[in-house]
Amino acid sequence: MLVKVLRNGVGGIWQLGDLITRPTKMKRTPEAQLEVEEQCKELALYQLPRCPFCIKVRRNMHKLNLPIEKRNVNPGSPYRDELAAGGGRVKSPCLQITENGETRWMYESNDIIAYLEQRFA
């Protein structure tokens, strides 16, 4: 119980800090941004709002101007069950990548950030 309270408290501070210090979005031509938006439809981020690692990934998504769907995996959420069934475990952040009819699940914030930067930067 105490750990949950501390985690939510610290997560709230991180969340507020993210809002205050958010980086500016990457600028693209309208055509290039449309292409990025189309590619982002193949992606979904399973996340928790106050998780520091999820905040780190969302900051990077904001910086790269990526409109990736965010799916909250709080207890009781249908996305939590979807993550457990598809990815094999409930751990956030997790990026669902669907390409050529195949789905991959990428855990670990640093791996997700490296993938997004390599693909979209």
Q: Which of 119, 116, 109 is nearest to 51 (CA)?
A: 109
Q: Contact at 8 Å (CB) between 107 and 86?
A: no
Per-residue tens of pLDDT for the chain, all 121 residues: 666 666 667 667 767 777 777 788 889 999 999 999 999 999 999 999 989 999 999 999 999 999 999 999 999 999 999 999 999 999 999 999 999 889 999 999 999 999 999 999 8
Question: pTM of the prediction?
Answer: 0.86
33-58 residue pLDDT tens? 999 999 999 999 999 998 999 999 99
What are the CA-CA distances from residue 22 to residues 11, 17, 43, 55 (Å)?
A: 16, 8, 22, 11
Residues in the chain: 121
- Please give the pLDDT value at position 106: 97
Q: Where are the domains of the chain?
A: 2-120
- Please give the pLDDT value at position 13: 76
Fold of the domain built from segment(s) 2-120: Glutaredoxin (3.40.30)
